[in-house]
Each structure stands twice: as C-alpha cells, then as structure tokens.
Amino acid sequence: MLSLESVTYAPGGHRNGKIEILKDINLKLEFGKMYALTGPNGGGKSTLARVIMGIYPPTSGRILLEGEDITGLAANERARLGFGYAFQAPPTFKGLKVIDLLEIASRRNPQEGCQPLRQIGLCPEEYLQRELDGRLSGGEAKRVEIATIMAQDPRIRIFDEPEAGIDLWSFDRLVKLIADSHRPEKITMIISHQEKIMRLVNEIILIAGGEICLQGERDQVWPQIKETMLCDCLEKCPLKGEEDVECPR
Amino acid sequence: MWNALDRKLLKEIADLHALPTGAFNIRKDGEGVERRSRPGIEITSGKGQPGVNVVVKPGVKGTVHIPVIITRSGLADVVYNHIEIGAGAEITLVAGCGIHNPGGELSRHDGIHEIIVRSGARLYYKEKHYGEGKGSGQRVLNPKTSMLIERDAYAELELLQVRGVDDTLRITEAQVEEGGLVNMFERLLTDGTQNATSEVEIKLIGDDSRARIISRSVARDSSRQVFKFRLIAHGRGRGHVECDSIIMDRAAVRSIPEVWAENSRAELVHEAAIGKIAGEQLVKLMSLGLTQEEAEETIIGGFLSRTGGDSNG
Ligand SMILES: Nc1ncnc2c1ncn2[C@@H]1O[C@H](COP(=O)(O)OP(=O)(O)OP(=O)(O)O)[C@@H](O)[C@H]1O
Ligand SMILES: [Mg+2]
C-alpha cells in the first residue's frame, strides 16, 4: 500500500503567506488496483502526481510505501523503488533521441524499448533515431512519453492525461495498453477527464482546489461526479454569484 | 615513429587509429613529421612560412588529414595552411590540434587556414581541439579559418572543443558566392577557469548564397565564453544563426549577434539563447532513475552531440 498522510504542498517552502496547492491530502492506494484522478483544471492533480513521484517535496505530511517512510526520497530514489510518472507535458531535449530515453528508462536494454513504441503505434524503425526536440509533434511526444514509462515498467505508475493530444483512432488502443499492462503487483493511477478511462478503473478520486472532494468505488462515485460534484466544486469559487455565468448543467 | 602519447592525441582529435589511407600531413611539436600525397591531392611545404599547401585537382574525391599535435611545454607553434579544393571535387578535410602539456609553461598553437572551395566543389571540414597534461602550463589554441566558397560550392564545418583547452580565440570567416552554401556546426564546452571566444563572420556575396550556423556551448565552473556572430548579406542571400548556450555554476557567457543586410531581398535571422539546464529535463531523467549528476551529463552530452540540429546540404 502507498499512503499519503496529511500531505500539503506550497511551492517555495513553508506556509507563511504561501498558497497551498495541496491541502491536507490523505490517500491510500492499494496494489492491484487502478485509480482515476480527476477534477477541474488547476485542481492539483499534476501537483499530487509530482509529490508522489518525489519531484516536489511535501511541505508537510508523510508518504509511506508499505509502511516505510519515503517522504524524504528524491525522484531518482523513488524510481529505484518502482515509481514512474508519465508527464502531462513531456519536456523536449535538444540532441537526445527517442532511443536514448528508452534506454535510460529500460536500464540500458534498448530491446525493451521497441515493443512499447510499437504498442503505442509508433514504428521503431521510424522513431528510435528521432530527436526529442520540438520537431516531434505534440501527439508523437506524448506517445513517446507513454512508451518510456512502459519501458521503465514501474510498479507504481501514474499517467498524467495520457489521452491528451492522442487522436481518436488511437485512443482505444491506448486505453487497452494501459489496462492490459496493469498487474496485481502494480498500482496504476490515470489522471484523466475521459469517461472511457473512468470505466477502466476500480476507484475514482476527485480533487478540486487542492483537496480530495470524493473518493470511492467507480460505480458509486462516477454518477455523483457527473450529477452533483461539478456544481459543488464550483460552489467553492470565491466569485460565486458575482458573475452571471450560468451553471453549464 | 609515433609513441603512445602521439597516438592517443591523434585518436582524440582526428579519430585516427593508424596512419590514414588518404592524403595526410602530421605535424608534431612545430615540425611536419610525416606526409603523403595522393593522386589528385598534392601536399607540399609552404613557401617561406611554416605550414602546408594542399591542392586538390578538380573532380577528385578523397580524404585529407592535417592534424597537429604538441607534446612539449613552452612551445608556440604557428602554421599557415593554404588549401584549394578544385572545381567539382568532394573532400573530407580533418584538421584539429591536440596539446599534451606536461610542464609549467604555456604551450600554444595558432593554426591559420586559408581555404578556397572552387565552384561546385563540396568540402566537409572537421576540426577538433583537445588539451591534456598534468602540468600547470596553459594550453592555448587560436585557430583562424578563412574560406572562399565559390559559385554553387558547399562547405560544411564541424568545429569541436570539449576538453582541456585553457584559452582559445577562434576566428572563422567565409565569403559565399552565388548559389554557395555554408553549414557550420560549432560545439564548445569549457570548465574550470577556461576562456573561449568564437568570432564568426559570414559574408553572403552572391545571390542565392546561404549560410546556416548552429553553435552549441556549455559553460561550467568559472569558465567564460564569448560569441560574436556577424552575418552580412551583400547579395540576395539567406542566413540563419542559432546560438544556444547552457550556463552552469559560476560561469559567464556573452553572445553578441550582428546581422547586416546590404540588399533588400536578403533574409537574415539570428537566434541566441543562454540558460541553465531546464528543470523539467532534469526532473524527467531523475524520475527515470538517473541521479542529478547523471541527468546533467546526459543532457549536456546530447546537447553537444552531432545529432543536434542535423544539417543537410
Ligand atoms: N510552482 C507553482 N507555483 C505556483 N502555483 C503553482 C505551481 N505549480 C502549480 N501551481 C498552481 O497550482 C494549481 C494546481 O496545478 P496542477 O498542475 O496540479 O493542476 P491540474 O489539476 O493538474 O490541472 P490540469 O487539469 O489543468 O492539468 C494551479 O492553479 C497551478 O496554477
Ligand atoms: Mg495537470
């Protein structure tokens, strides 16, 4: 089990005057389960993923992996423990090639890089030698990012809006790839707004305003989110009522 | 004739594991040591000046190596090389200098190259600079390359300096005639207290002349780098300079661009950027398991690799 206890995050250190992007996050994630993390833009999903990956150090609170405190571990140390995070917006690298990244991810075993590329719909012959610079299209870069995580094969996997920029025809394939590669010894978390992804997971976590508003079994939570939570989340907006924008529902 | 140190230096700068099969002239500690001409490629001693004349006959294809190595402390070596690539020829020219300075005195090499690429010829010029040695003596390299690229000729310059040169002033000049094209790819890494200055001046003389310059550099520790790029169009030419530096530690980088058009149909672009390694790049590689140091090395290695900004003629 991976658990977060009272985790907060305020960029640039402590809380004197700083805005908290994550407020008192308590979360338990079990091996063998797939989770969807959803919620409005700016709600704190990517920030939470980065805190779990060890990219952002929590301002307070603890992170425990199978009871062991890993709060102080950096991203590379967590990678060694089996954490992996597919970025929402993968960075570009001048001069590095797709094959370089796959080799790093698969710990210098380039053979393991070809299969994920193929699975994600990129022909290795065509893409292995491509540079990871701005010349890759948005969707290509996103696919390479997912292939990289597949090559890394972590046991705690977070995909940050994997479907963003992926064309409609490839979307089903992507969903299937993520579902098929899930294992009883893995935790899979998918940050998404897509109903198709929601149908895939065991549990849904709704985060808005840096707080977990709702968490539970998919079949119980999803109808609630669709029906009411959107408005509840909007309720929290300090400007409510001052603008004459109608509720979209 | 060549000892282990010589061979190491030659391997570093010219990727030579044995004597080259093409034409060559190898200069060591201020003297030409071994030379070979080839049919259509003649190498002779310079008249009244140290250095060589290389003349490639029209239409000839081949490789010419003219590396320079210095293995002594306190040596100042100046050479003047004149190189002519005949019309329609296609030549790979490997220059470069390696200094091993074992002592406390300054060792220095000034390589002055004058290169004419005759019409329709293609020149691939590679120049690598390398320094080493445990002594406290400085290793200084001041290359100057002046080129004339005639009508419809092509020159590709690959200039590389990644280790051990304390001080360098590199001057590269080219005049490009009608239909000519020059592609220059410079890669530079400095560390410690090294200084490097690179001055490039490209004159697009003729119509449809083109120049593309990509400069990538990494400045570490307390090193300092200065780049001066001047792109001048007299004809209806097109030029593009892309100058990109990664700055680390306490280093300093100055980039001074100049684009100068004397023709209303010229198109000149200069892009220059200096910045630290992007945080997202580091974080991405670290989340794949690399330590921060490994991630930095990977990013720098890629940035300075030949793939960066592939050029095509
Ligand atoms: N370093 C930072 N400094 C200040 N604010 C930040 C920083 N990083 C994120 N934020 C803010 O924190 C909030 C949460 O951002 P986050 O990226 O986690 O949202 P998200 O839920 O992933 O949104 P989206 O659905 O748009 O991807 C946003 O309002 C964002 O602007
Ligand atoms: Mg996000």
- Mean pLDDT, residues A122-146 taken together: 90
- Best of B288, B292, B311 to disrupt the A interface (most A CBs within 10 Å) is B288
> Which residue from A7, A19, A21 has its CB within 8 A of the most atoms of ligand 1, so it is best to mutate?
A21
Q: What percent of chain A has pLDDT over 70?
A: 87
**pLDDT for residue B85:** 98
Q: What is the mean pLDDT of chain A?
A: 87
Q: Provide φ and ψ at B96, rounded to 5°.
A: 110, 160
**pLDDT for residue A59:** 93
With CA atoms as reference, report the closest residue to B202 among B168, B237, B169.
B237
CB spacing of A131 vs B307 below 8 angstroms: yes
**pLDDT for residue A230:** 56
**pLDDT for residue A114:** 79
Q: Is residue B310 part of a domain?
A: no
Per-residue b or e along A216-246, where b marks 16 or more CB atoms closer than 10 Å to that residue's CB:
eebeebbebbeeebbeebbeeeeeeeeeeee
Confidence class of residue A243 from pLDDT cuts 50, 70 and 90? low
Domain membership of residue B101 as a residue range: 4-304
CB spacing of B304 vs A55 below 8 angstroms: no
The count of structural domains within chain B is 1
Q: Which two tokens stand for residue A20?
A: 């908290």
Environment of ion ligand 2 (residues, CB < 5 A): A 45-46, 88
Q: Is residue B105 part of a domain?
A: yes
With CA atoms as reference, report the closest residue to A94 among A63, A42, A132, A128.
A132
Helix (H, G, I), strand (E, B) or coil at A29: strand
Look at ligand 1, atom 24, and give the residue with the nearest C-alpha.
A41
**pLDDT for residue A120:** 86
The string of pLDDT tens digits covering residues B256-293 is 999 999 999 999 999 999 999 999 999 999 999 999 99
**d(C-alpha B147, C-alpha B124), whole Å:** 13
Total CB pairs under 8 A between chain A and B: 74
- Mean pLDDT, residues A82-100 taken together: 95
Task: Answer whether A226's CB lies under 8 Å from A41's CB.
Answer: no
**pLDDT for residue A15:** 54
**pLDDT for residue A17:** 64
Task: Answer whether B243's CB lies under 8 Å from B272's CB.
Answer: yes
**pLDDT for residue B312:** 40
CATH 3.40.190.10 fits A2-18+34-192, yes or no: no
**pLDDT for residue A57:** 94
Chain B positions touching A156 (Cβ under 8 A) are none
Any bridge partners for residue B154, and if so which?
A: B122, B181
Based on C-alpha coordinates, what's the Rg of chain B?
20
- Mean pLDDT, residues A119-143 taken together: 89
**pLDDT for residue A234:** 53
A11/chain B closest Cα distance in angstroms: 15
Confidence class of residue A169 from pLDDT cuts 50, 70 and 90? confident
| A107 pLDDT above the threshold of 90 | no
Q: Provide φ and ψ at A147, rounded to 5°.
A: -60, -40
**pLDDT for residue A11:** 87
**d(C-alpha B215, C-alpha B273), whole Å:** 10
Look at ligand 1, atom 3, and give the residue with the nearest C-alpha.
A11
**d(C-alpha A113, C-alpha A151), whole Å:** 6
Q: Provide φ and ψ at A203, rounded to 5°.
A: -130, 155
CA dihedral A237, A242, A245, A246 (to 10 degrees): 80
Specify the pTM: 0.87
Q: Provide φ and ψ at B293, rounded to 5°.
A: -65, -45
Task: Answer whether B96's CB lies under 8 Å from B14's CB.
Answer: yes
C-alpha count within 13 angstroms, C-beta hemisphere, residue B80: 5
Q: Is residue B172 part of a domain?
A: yes
Find the CB nearest B304 among A79, A83, A95.
A95
The string of pLDDT tens digits covering residues B106-122 is 999 999 999 999 999 99
Q: How far is CA B154 from CA A103, B147, B181, B237, B312, in A?
A: 36, 11, 5, 14, 11
**pLDDT for residue A236:** 55
**d(C-alpha B130, C-alpha B189), whole Å:** 11
Task: Answer whether A88's CB lies under 8 Å from A46's CB.
Answer: yes
Q: Is residue B122 part of a domain?
A: yes
CA B20 to ligand 1 center in whole angstroms: 59
Any bridge partners for residue A22, and if so which?
A: A9
Chain A positions touching B278 (Cβ under 8 A) are 91
| A244 pLDDT above the threshold of 70 | no
Task: Answer whether A83's CB lies under 8 Å from A54's CB.
Answer: yes
Task: Answer whether B247's CB lies under 8 Å from B277's CB.
Answer: no
Residue-by-residue pLDDT tens, chain B, 313 positions: 789 999 999 999 998 888 899 999 999 999 999 999 999 999 999 988 999 999 999 999 999 999 999 999 999 999 999 999 999 999 999 999 999 999 999 999 999 999 999 999 999 999 999 999 988 999 999 999 999 999 999 999 999 998 899 999 999 999 999 999 999 999 999 999 999 999 999 999 999 999 999 999 999 999 999 999 999 999 999 999 999 999 999 999 999 999 999 999 999 999 999 999 999 999 999 999 999 999 999 999 999 987 644 444 3
Assign residue B221 a region (left: φ > 0; alpha: ψ between -120 and 50; beta: otherwise). Answer: left
Residue boundaries of the structural domains of chain A: 2-18+34-192
- Mean pLDDT, residues A220-229 taken together: 77
| A56 pLDDT above the threshold of 50 | yes
**d(C-alpha B115, C-alpha B51), whole Å:** 13
